[in-house]
Amino acid sequence: LSGADNETLKQRRMQIMSRGLPKQKPIEGVKQVIVVASGKGGVGKSTTAVNLALALAANDSSKAVGLLDVDVYGPSIPKMMNLKGSPELSQSNLMRPLLNYGIACMSMGFLVEETAPVVWRGLMVMSAIEKLLRQVDWGQLNYLVVDMPPGTGDVQLSVTQNIPISGAVIVSTPQDVALMDARKGAEMFRKVHVPILGLVQNMSVFQCPKCKQRTHIFGADGARRLARTLDLDVLGDIPLHLNIRETSDTGQPIVFSQPESDEAKAYLRIAAEVVKRLPPPLE
């Protein structure tokens, strides 16, 4: 095919594919949606999402922030935000988010027993995602941070195709295995035309609390190399630190419980970088 014919064929394929896609509809009351994603599990995506939401609120107290956990199979937000119980229903039969640390939160973890596994097929998962997206009364939010599950499957596609997303934050450790999947996640967002705000390099370095020696357990600057390859920015580095793990496990995220710590300040800087890169909000 000539160059012109090839371009025409690509446009035709896109038109055919777009016919089967749902029309994007904003979440009522939400001005900007920021998704936090990773290709691989266990890289600290949920910890980043929680502390990013708190940091957005801490950097500008005039902004209302919400946190949506769409990881149906492994919701982490209830524990990290120290929240339990079921959401109440509004007069219009919408679920009201649970509130802690000034952040409105919704998660599948509020709708099932804490220890109960979610053993669902794809259609049931899609139905649950639809409810989390459309049947929650968020009030008025400036930012809704969405904690995505790992991977590039049905949930990611459902979220990105149903609602307009202001930007995506990709979280990865510097390890090559994690970076391979982070790249796939970035390419997925590009395919569905979601702007990528940048990468967060999590667990970037470990500093021994006794001797202060710094060790790059997962490798050094892997996310920076990937960012250069993809022509993306690195929003910041988060160290591998005991305080971050302990505060997450006890439901007192470090941005809230230790706001003057170096680790909390790293999240605050990342939140500021995210805001700089966001497009103008929906009116």
Domain coverage including residue 262: 29-277
For residue 60, tell me if it sits in a domain: yes
For residue 203, tell me if it sits in a domain: yes
DSSP label at residue 110? G
CATH number at residue 44: 3.40.50.300
Helix axes 176-191, 222-230, angle to 10 degrees: 30
Query: DSSP letters of 35-50?
Result: EEE-SSTTSSHHHHHH
Residue 126 sits at φ, ψ, to 5 deg, of: -65, -35
User: pLDDT band at residue 40, thresholds of 50, 70 and 90?
Assistant: confident
For residue 283, tell me if it sits in a domain: no
How many independent structural domains does the chain possess? Answer: 1
Quickly count: other Cβ atoms within 10 Å of residue 84's Cβ.
12
Distance CA 149, CA 208 (A): 31
Q: Is the pLDDT of residue 125 over 90?
A: no
What letters, b where the CB count within 10 A reaches 16 and e where it falls short, cover 155-178?
Answer: bbebbbbbbebbbbbbbbbbbeeb
Instruction: Render pLDDT for 147-189 as a digit per residue (tens, 0 to 9).
Output: 998 876 778 888 888 899 999 999 988 887 888 888 888 888 9
For residue 193, tell me if it sits in a domain: yes
For residue 64, tell me if it sits in a domain: yes
- Position 196 scores a pLDDT of 93
Instruction: Render pLDDT for 98-124 as a digit per residue (tens, 0 to 9).
Output: 999 999 999 988 987 766 566 666 678
Distance CA 83, CA 44 (A): 19
